[in-house]
């Protein structure tokens, strides 16, 4: 009898890639290594994933969902920020894959569920709309990310690790409290451009260029042409 296709093969390949990345980061993720870890052949991996970048994208999307799941159990913004840092420190290699070229395609136009969750928490606390708090969310994320990477790359441990973790938490709260006090007042630097959009999948753009607009328009047409696509777009 001919061999039956393995319906779980693609999932096994992705699971293997995630394990390899989590253990050793970029240097451990090769197509041959993924094939061996998944119990299949290198040509089979290429049939499912075009190249290493394609696998990295799948790993990135999986990690974003895992981070979102960790934050989804929280009830407040400060708790979400704490869980964010904890996730980064518990999964350092997986966390690092999220942010290489984060402001460039394809990452720019992928879902950013954790960013949006925390921005929504800001909206509930400060009022307004999620987009009106993108600049503030970006500053909070930059502080969290910088702290996480210093702890990960610096090999920080012991009391210094604890103090850096909680000093970041204190700073985050201080920034939010200051935002509450100065609500509506003019900020430093130029006003946030209306065409600078983050965390909203195909709507996201950093340059406002014509190529971005054309690509986003094409993406919307493709999405809306699928069954249920128009209603999904309207819900976002």
Tens of pLDDT, residue by residue over 105-155, are 999 999 999 999 999 999 999 999 999 999 999 999 999 999 999 999 999
CA distance 18 to 61: 11
For 36-64, write each residue's pLDDT tens digit: 999 999 999 999 899 988 998 888 998 99
Could you tell me how many residues make up the chain?
Answer: 236
Domain count, the chain: 2
Burial of residue 95 (CB within 10 Å: 0-12, 13-18, 19+) is: buried
Question: Do 66 and 135 share a domain, yes or no?
Answer: yes
Residue 98 falls inside a structural domain: yes
The verdict on 129 and 149 lying in the same domain is: yes
Q: Are residues 144 and 45 in the same domain?
A: no
Residue % of the chain over a pLDDT of 70: 84
Tell me the pTM. 0.77
Local confidence band at 5 (pLDDT 50, 70, 90 cut-offs): low
Shared-domain flag, residues 194 and 130:
yes
By the 10 Å C-beta count (0-12 exposed, 13-18 middle, 19+ buried), 20 is classed as buried
**pLDDT greater than 50 at residue 233:** no
**Lowest-confidence region among 11-25, 105-119, 151-165, 207-221:** 207-221
Q: For residues 180 and 99, give the distance between their C-alpha atoms in angstroms, rounded to a whole number.
A: 29
Chosen domain end from 49, 72, 88:
49
Residue 217 lies in a domain: no
* pLDDT of 227 higher than 80: no
Question: Within this chain, do residues 87 and 165 fall inside the same structural domain, yes or no?
Answer: yes
Model confidence at 213: pLDDT above 80 = no
Which residues pair with residue 111 across a beta bridge?
A: 200
Contact 34, 56 (CB under 8 A): no
Q: In terms of domains, do 68 and 162 share one?
A: yes
Beta-bridge mates of residue 143: none
The CATH number of residue 4's host domain is 1.10.10.60
């Amino acid at each position: 009898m001919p061999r039956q296709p393995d319906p779980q093969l693609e999932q096994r390949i992705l699971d293997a890639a995630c394990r390899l990345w989590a253990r050793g980061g970029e240097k451990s993720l090769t197509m041959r290594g993924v094939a061996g870890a998944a119990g299949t052949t290198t040509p089979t991996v290429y049939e499912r994933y075009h190249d290493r970048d394609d696998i990295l994208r799948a790993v990135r999307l999986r990690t974003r969902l895992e981070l979102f799941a960790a934050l989804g159990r929280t009830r407040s913004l400060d708790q979400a920020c704490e869980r964010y840092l904890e996730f980064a420190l518990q999964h350092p290699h997986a966390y690092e894959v999220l942010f290489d070229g984060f402001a460039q395609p394809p990452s720019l136009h992928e879902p950013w569920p954790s960013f949006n969750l925390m921005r929504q928490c800001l909206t509930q606390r400060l009022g307004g709309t999620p987009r009106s708090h993108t600049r503030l969310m970006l500053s909070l994320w930059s502080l969290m990310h910088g702290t996480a990477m210093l702890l990960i790359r610096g090999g920080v441990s012991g009391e210094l690790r604890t103090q850096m973790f909680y000093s970041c938490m204190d700073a985050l709260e201080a920034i939010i409290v200051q935002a509450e006090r100065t609500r509506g007042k003019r900020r430093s630097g130029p006003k946030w451009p209306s065409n600078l959009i983050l965390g909203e999948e195909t709507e996201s753009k950093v340059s406002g260029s014509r190529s971005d607009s054309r690509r986003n328009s094409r993406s919307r047409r493709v999405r809306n042409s699928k069954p249920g696509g128009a209603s999904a777009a309207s819900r976002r």
